[in-house]
Amino acid sequence: MRSDDLYITTVPCFFQCPISLDLMKSPVSLSTGVTYDRVSIQRWLDGGNNTCPATMQILPNKDFVPNLTLHRLIDLWSVSNHRRTDSQSHAPTKDDINAAIERFLIDKNDCLVLSKILRFASASDENREFLAAKEDFLRMLVDLISQLDSKNFSDSKLMLVGEAMKILSTIRRKIFDRRRLSNLILTNGGDCLTSLLLLIKNGNTKLKIDCSAVLEFIAVYAESKLLIAERDEIITEIMKSISSDSDSTLIEASLSFLIAIASSKRVKLTLIGEKKLITKLTNLLTDPTTSVSVTEKCLKLIEALSSCKEGRSEICDGVCVETVVKKLMKVSTAATEHAVTVLWSVCYLFKETKAQDAVVRTNGVTKILLLLQSNCSLTVRHMLTDLLKVLKMNSRSCLSVYETKTTHITPF
């Protein structure tokens, strides 16, 4: 062992990444001014988050810029303390990764090799594209994930398969042929879905998010949606995450998955009846701590469920309509558009009298009039006009209300 390996010093706190708490190798700053290690913040953003992890502020954009001054200071400190940063000594190259994959084919229980590949994949889009283009590598990952079942389940096996799932989740958006990946995962008697269920049941929050993300990614064709939805235990486990007590990122990933599979009537009926999804969504919408992105997805899912009779019945029987009305103009443009579509569907398209009464009772007509004066899209404007008609607002009374408004109202 070299003497510099024995030299230990405390890393200054402002050199540490707020996410990993490790010495930053490539510091970058978000629009909030907070600096993170590039790999850590990229992984956070790739997970679908739209907030600054340190401040929890909503990010106006997901761009970041290199913090060159801090990078130079870290380099100077590293040299003066006889330390070499990982970017200088341990960043794996493509040749290293090819060699690592070859080694893994010989010893398929080497979790450290998968961890090395995961670090490589997390480092850049170029690295993710490199791995996603390797068809044999994708097949190897799916084969490895498929090996987890209740008979050979152990903590070490869970860790190994979990690393493979994290890699697949990290590179999924760079995979060009989604149908091919979907077929790889859904064939062989559904062994891979069995493994995914075990990962969701026994994994940590991050692993549950990765599993949900991969399931959403492959649920792109009608047959794949149905095959996944038929695994009732998977839906049950995913539904457990739709709670105010869950991590916000996990809730968002779970909702995204449910949106992806909720196109067929059979799946909708399962989500509405057996799973009581609309009640869960309404509870999330009434929780003041629910994030903007989760609110948008809740309303989008309610919109999808309102297209069938059973969904409309559930929406109109409880406090769902009132809750949707309250979200008009209060969250975001996307949330308002989903909310308007829900109200248009139940009140105008299908003439649900309970829904109409609920809109009037919660001052929804006034909000509709205010929205008509905003910069809403043409489609939303048409739906709002239809809503006014069905709520028995004639053109003369609407005009008199408009004339009393002397200022332009921007609701967002």
Q: How many CB atoms lie within 10 A of CB 268?
A: 21
Phi, psi angles (nearest 5°) of residue 349 = -65, -40
- Residue closest to 28 by CA, chosen among 63, 75, 67, 72: 67
395 pLDDT more than 50: no
Check if the beta carbon of residue 190 is closer than 8 Å to that of residue 28: no
Q: How many CB atoms lie within 10 A of CB 130?
A: 18
Rg (CA), the chain: 25
Q: Among 59-68, 295-304, 391-400, whose mean pLDDT is lowest? A: 391-400
| pLDDT in the model for residue 263 | 86
Q: How many CB atoms lie within 10 A of CB 396?
A: 7
Q: What is the pLDDT of residues 355-376, one digit of tens each?
A: 999 999 898 899 999 999 888 8
281 pLDDT more than 70: yes
Q: What is the pLDDT of residues 23-56, one digit of tens each?
A: 888 889 998 899 999 889 988 998 888 899 988 8
| pLDDT in the model for residue 259 | 95
Q: Among 158-162, 273-277, 318-322, whose mean pLDDT is lowest? A: 273-277
Rounded Cα distance between 166 and 164, Å, is: 5
- Looking at the DSSP bridge assignments, the partners of residue 126 are none
Q: How many CB atoms lie within 10 A of CB 36?
A: 27
227 pLDDT more than 70: yes
Q: What is the pLDDT of residues 76-121, one digit of tens each?
A: 787 666 544 444 445 678 888 898 888 888 878 878 889 889 989 9
All structural domains of the chain? 13-86 (3.30.40.10), 92-261 (1.25.10.10), 276-394 (1.25.10.10)
| pLDDT in the model for residue 189 | 61
Question: pTM of the entire structure?
Answer: 0.72
3-state secondary structure of 51: strand
Collect all residues with Cβ–Cβ distance below 8 Å to 369 and sequence separation of at least 6. Answer: 388, 398, 401, 402
Rounded Cα distance between 284 and 295, Å, is: 8
- When the pLDDT of each residue in the chain is averaged and rounded to a whole number, the result is 85
Collect all residues with Cβ–Cβ distance below 8 Å to 260 and sequence separation of at least 6. Answer: 215, 216, 219, 220, 225
